[in-house]
């Protein structure tokens, strides 16, 4: 009934095989979605407690501190409706 399928990992982009046996297991458990990650990426995600990684690096965004005007970088996309603070000003406000 089931046949091996080639899928593409959404994290690393490599192809992996979703075997007939795995498909049968998924069907028995009632899973409706195919796996979207290869085994190494699933294992890495589990090891990181479900957090995504970019080789351990965060994507940083340039910003200007609302307190002192210094150029800084933050690990999120700045929005105009919230002030951004450099590390020193942020620590002083805590």
Q: Tens digit of pLDDT for each residue in 8-36?
A: 999 888 999 999 999 999 999 999 999 99
Helix (H, G, I), strand (E, B) or coil at 85: coil
Look up residue 48 and give its DSSP letter. T
Give the model's pLDDT for residue 24: 95
Give the model's pLDDT for residue 52: 58
In this structure, are residues 53 and 42 in contact, taking their beta carbons and an 8 Å threshold?
no
30-70 confidence digits (pLDDT tens) = 999 999 999 998 888 888 776 655 555 678 899 999 999 99
């Amino acid at each position: 009934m089931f046949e091996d399928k080639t899928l593409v990992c959404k994290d690393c982009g490599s192809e992996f095989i979703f075997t007939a046996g795995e498909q049968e297991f998924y069907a028995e458990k009632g899973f409706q979605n195919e796996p979207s990650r290869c085994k190494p990426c699933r294992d890495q995600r589990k090891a990181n407690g479900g957090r995504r990684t970019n080789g351990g690096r965060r994507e940083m965004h340039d910003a200007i501190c609302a307190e002192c005007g210094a150029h800084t970088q933050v690990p999120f996309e700045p929005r105009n409706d919230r002030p951004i603070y450099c590390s020193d000003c942020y620590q002083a406000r805590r």
